[in-house]
Amino acid sequence: MVGIFENDTNFGSNKRTARIAGILYLIVVITGIVSLGYIPKQLIVWEDKVATFNNILKNENLYRIGVFSSVLCYLAFIFLPLVLRELLKTVNQFVANFMVVSVLVSIPISFFNLYSKYIILDIIHKEEYLKIYNESQLQSLVMFHLNRYEYGIFISTFFWGLWLFPFGYLVYKSGFIPKIFGILLMLGCFGYVINFFGNTLFANYQDIGISRIIGKIPSVAEIGICLWLLVIGIKKSKKIIMKTKKTEFEDFKINIKILLSGLWTSVMFLYIYADYFELYVPRKVEGLISGENLLNTPYKLLYATILLTVPSLMIFLSLILKPKINRILNISIAGFLALFTFLIGISSISEWRIFYVMLAFLESTLTFFIVWKAWTWKRILFWDKFILI
């Protein structure tokens, strides 16, 4: 067996770039933990404005360290994607540029959000322009600005999640960083985004256990890739040539029509599983018997039947229709269902419907994949077609 290393001349330079990225990432992680986790827990009592005011007043230096940590975090976060772009641009330059833009959009939001933290320093020192407020009002002002800061952080989390998808994609495709980190980073993106929309759309979203579970994924992904870049850097990508004979499992290219039909079949099974397991949700069967359910009129039942009939017909139509109309139908119908099932999943979030949310996101993922496969349907020239015939 002979190992051939790709890009051997650039390996040392890329390894140094990876280490620099690891150092910057470590700064982001540590300062983020300090400013968003440790110090707020020491100072803020959300149910007690008096205790919070006094904690900040008595531990002003600790509070200022928290603000300074945020500034360091955002400064390092400016340079981190730029360094990662240098490391990963050979994988896909467009995606690398999109990754950088996703981060840079969030930086002004994050820095402007620190305005609330600086205002609090004026409040606790009772600056001249605040003399019109009494002690209780000043304490309420502190809580107001702390809540305002938290909402600013909440808005930033959308962009903190957004950049992880292109980053994860580049890692996955790179060949010199383990693919598992790419998968975790892309899942981390969905973790941030799902929690963002969940908190936006539902008042009691935080009470659902799934929000805490989803929230852990980005932390695992980012700390993992940070340590890998810092300690290992990158590994050499190898092409292996076997001098001896080797055997492989027989494989063949799947026809696009068969693939699309198979995907629609999988989607239909997920629909069936979702409706079947929903019968185990408390009071669901009673509602079906009494008529107190979503499909409580003949017309609603008809609309639901049509909605489910269309994807079941696509299993057959994907096999028999001509490519042009086949492609148009798959893109349009699957695109609509991908968005529809995603919204159904978001709106169904509750303790007893976690299974339903999972199946809805799987349905949405499969239908999006149908859109992608139909969109990238390979074209052939008329002359090639004539030769094939």
Q: Which residues contact 40 (CB under 8 A, 6 or more apart)?
A: 66
The answer to whether residue 251 is domain-embedded is no
285 and 323: one domain?
A: yes
Nearest to 164 by CA among 195, 196, 193: 193
128 and 220: one domain?
A: yes
Note whether 78 and 101 are within 8 A (CB).
no
Structural domain tally of the chain? 2
Domain boundary among 211, 239, 267: 239
pLDDT, one tens digit per residue, over 60-79 is 999 999 999 999 999 999 99
Domain boundary among 239, 265, 287: 239
> Could you give the angle at the alpha carbon of 38 between the alpha carbons of 32 and 40, nearest 5°?
95
Exposure b/e, 263-302, CB count within 10 A at least 16 = b = bbebbbebbeebeeebeeeeeeeeeeeeeeeeeeeeeeee
22 and 94: one domain?
A: yes
Domain boundary among 239, 268, 295: 239
Place of tokens 């600086």: 118
260 and 296: one domain?
A: yes
293 and 176: one domain?
A: no
pTM: 0.60
232 and 264: one domain?
A: no
What secondary structure does DSSP assign to 127-151, as a single string? -GGGTTS-HHHHHHHHHHHHHHHHH
281 and 222: one domain?
A: no
Tokens representing residue 328 in the block = 């148009």
Residue 386: pLDDT over 70 = no
224 and 296: one domain?
A: no
The answer to whether residue 154 is domain-embedded is yes
| SS3 state of residue 3 | strand
pLDDT, one tens digit per residue, over 107-165 is 999 999 999 899 998 888 877 777 788 888 888 999 999 999 999 999 998 989 899 99
The answer to whether residue 249 is domain-embedded is no
Residue 382: pLDDT over 60 = no
Nearest to 368 by CA among 330, 323, 320, 315: 330
211 and 272: one domain?
A: no
194 and 279: one domain?
A: no
Angstrom distance (rounded) from CA 302 to CA 202: 29
162 and 265: one domain?
A: no
234 and 317: one domain?
A: no
Q: What is the DSSP letter of 233?
A: -
DSSP 3-state percent helix, strand, coil across the chain (nearest 5): 80, 0, 20
Place of tokens 């870049």: 229
The answer to whether residue 296 is domain-embedded is yes
pLDDT, one tens digit per residue, over 300-314 is 788 888 888 888 889
Which domain range does residue 69 map to? 2-239
